């Protein structure tokens, strides 16, 4: 059906509903009103239907089937209070009316009054053992009131009942149930339910996505990829699926494939700098080696508020303390009255260690958010919003110490940094920094999007820039996903001419 036909069909439906409504308003006969009410329900005019049923009720106010219909019409038309009144009315005539209790529980669940919903459904739970909808509702209600054991029991029961019944909406409900099972730590049951769902309805993107997520959580990359592929075959622009696929591919070291997924994502989210960054770095199509300043600034602006706590407490980041004590041990110079430039100063974690030795401490960073946090510490004489290479170029033979912790990892090439440092430092100046390590000879892009450097690469660059390596030490930079990140600390001084 094309748009024109659809529009004409809608117009016809509208005029039919209008006629129905008019007829029902003048009708008197209860039987006729009931038929009109049903027709209005079919036309989705729920409130007009409720009105027709109500007028049919006039003779016998305790007609339970009619009251049930009114309740349903009100609930479907969004008049929840009126629906509740109607169902309660039924219970006032017959306290044991299971259907009314079920309806009340469903309505209260919909408006998130879970205790109230439970109060109606609990007394009749024994009668609902074969009803998958009610087992599901019970599971949801127990889940909402944090009764995990009971909720799992009911979810499992509901899955069993749904699997046995041949209902039309079976697959969608199974997928919902599976999500609930995954949530309560029953991945295998969730997988079984989802497999059942896709057997019945093979074109079900949501189920494939759910399966992929569950397998990913179980660290079963093969199956996670299998279902992500199925999902993307059905919905090639599924953003969360593309994210998942990009992450799985990067984890396998297949950066190019990951890059293609990021490229597709960048068409969906053209403004997202992180996506753009990963697309271009993974596809190896960066137009220049320089930092992706927009990506770094966005990343750290978002991270600034929780940076200190997260990095130090969660990721066990100790690099500033390690590098500064390394500096004390390995320096022959007197560490007092120094003019210091802190490259990528961030929130000032490194600056706090250096402050006691500094006559002048300058911090430079690309992220406004990080600089604002550094300013709160009140330890810097100046804070500059700039790229570190640009900032270095401002100095010539002036700095006693250039320090940089956990920053060079955001650069694909350190040649300009080394050249800038050798020019900016005094004859006895020191360049102290940390890196993340690799054995690969050339800088290596890690799946994290950060760069790793080899000792050989640093030695070569030092030599090319007339630096001597005064000391270096392998170390653990921080933890990532519970694993140590291997790195190294370096102290470079200018070679004697
Ligand atoms: C992981 S944080 C480390 C901050 C600080 N040095 C520390 O040890 O806590 C990295 C910082 O480097 C900054 N950064 C990365 N690339 C930069 C660049 N090219 N120029 C200036 N700052 C940069 C980021 O904005 C971020 O604040």
Q: How confident is the model over 171-209, as pLDDT tens digits?
A: 777 777 787 778 778 888 889 888 888 888 888 898 999
Distance CA 481, CA 206 (A): 28
User: Ligand 1 within 6 A of 320 CB?
Assistant: yes
Domains 3-224 and 298-494 share a fold: no
Annotated domain spans of the chain? 3-224, 225-287, 298-494
Q: What percent of the chain has pLDDT over 70?
A: 96
pLDDT above 90 (res 267): no
Q: How confident is the model over 383-438, as pLDDT tens digits?
A: 999 999 999 999 999 999 999 999 999 888 899 999 999 999 999 999 999 999 99
Distance CA 319, CA 311 (A): 10
pLDDT above 60 (res 289): no
Distance CA 328, CA 324 (A): 6
Structure tokens at 363: 């911090």
In CATH, the number for domain 298-494 is 3.40.50.150
User: Ligand 1 within 6 A of 346 CB?
Assistant: yes
pLDDT above 70 (res 286): no
Length of the chain: 497
Q: How many A from CA of 245 to the centre of ligand 1?
A: 29
Write down the pTM of the prediction: 0.57
Q: How many A from CA of 71 to the centre of ligand 1?
A: 62
Distance CA 254, CA 122 (A): 53
Q: Is 384 left (phi over 0), alpha (psi -120 to 50) or beta?
A: beta
User: Ligand 1 within 6 A of 388 CB?
Assistant: yes
Structure tokens at 190: 């969730």
Among 346, 373, 418, 421, which is best to mutate for testing ligand 1, by the most ligand atoms less than 8 A from CB? 346
CATH of 3-224, one of 1.25.40.10, 1.20.1600.10, 3.10.50.40, 2.60.40.1120: 1.25.40.10
pLDDT above 60 (res 291): no
- Between 165 and 444, residue with greater pLDDT: 444
User: Ligand 1 within 6 A of 298 CB?
Assistant: no
The pLDDT value given to residue 69: 94
pLDDT above 60 (res 169): no
């Amino acid at each position: 059906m094309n748009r024109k036909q659809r529009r004409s069909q809608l117009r016809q439906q509208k005029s039919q509903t209008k006629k129905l409504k008019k007829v029902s308003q003048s009708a008197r006969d209860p039987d006729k009103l009931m038929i009109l009410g049903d027709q209005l329900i079919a036309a989705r005019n729920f409130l007009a239907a409720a009105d027709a049923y109500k007028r049919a009720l006039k003779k016998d106010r305790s007609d339970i089937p009619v009251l049930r219909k009114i309740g349903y019409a009100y609930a479907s038309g969004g008049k929840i209070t009126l629906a509740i009144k109607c169902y309660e009315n039924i219970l006032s005539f017959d306290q044991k009316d299971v259907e009314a209790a079920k309806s009340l529980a469903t309505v209260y669940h919909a408006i998130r009054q879970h205790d109230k919903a439970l109060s109606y459904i609990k007394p009749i739970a024994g009668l609902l053992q074969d009803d998958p909808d009610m087992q599901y509702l019970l599971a949801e209600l127990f889940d909402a009131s944090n009764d995990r054991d009971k909720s799992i029991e009911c979810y499992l029961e509901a899955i069993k009942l749904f699997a046995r019944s041949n209902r039309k909406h079976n697959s969608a409900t199974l997928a919902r149930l599976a999500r609930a099972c995954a949530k309560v730590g029953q991945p295998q049951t969730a997988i079984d339910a989802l497999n059942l769902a896709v057997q019945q309805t093979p074109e079900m993107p949501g189920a494939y996505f759910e399966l992929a997520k569950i397998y990913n959580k179980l660290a079963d990359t093969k199956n996670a990829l299998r279902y992500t592929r199925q999902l993307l075959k059905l919905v090639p622009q599924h953003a969360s699926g593309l994210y998942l696929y990009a992450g799985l591919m990067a984890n396998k070291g297949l950066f190019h494939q990951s890059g293609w997924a990021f490229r597709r994502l960048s068409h969906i989210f053209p403004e997202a700098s992180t996506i753009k960054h990963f697309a271009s770095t993974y596809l190896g199509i960066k137009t220049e080696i320089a930092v992706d300043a927009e990506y770094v600034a966005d990343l750290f602006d978002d991270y600034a508020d929780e940076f200190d706590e997260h990095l130090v407490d969660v990721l066990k980041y100790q690099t500033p303390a390690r590098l500064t004590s390394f500096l004390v041990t390995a320096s022959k110079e007197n560490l007092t009255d120094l003019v210091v430039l802190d490259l990528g100063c961030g929130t000032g974690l490194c600056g706090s260690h250096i402050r006691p030795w500094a006559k002048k401490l300058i911090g430079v960073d690309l992220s406004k958010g990080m600089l604002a946090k550094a300013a709160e510490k009140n330890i810097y004489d100046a804070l500059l919003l700039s790229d570190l290479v640009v900032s270095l170029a401002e100095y010539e033979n002036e700095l006693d110490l250039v320090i940089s912790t956990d920053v060079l990892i955001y650069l694909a090439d350190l040649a300009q940094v080394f050249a800038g440092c050798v020019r900016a430092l005094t004859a006895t100046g020191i360049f102290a920094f940390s890196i993340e390590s690799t054995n690969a000879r050339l800088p290596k892009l890690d799946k994290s999007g950060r760069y790793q450097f080899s000792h050989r690469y640093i030695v070569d660059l030092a030599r090319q820039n007339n630096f001597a390596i005064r000391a270096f030490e392998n170390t653990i930079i921080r933890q990532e996903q519970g694993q140590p990140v291997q790195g190294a600390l370096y102290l470079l001084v200018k070679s004697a001419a």
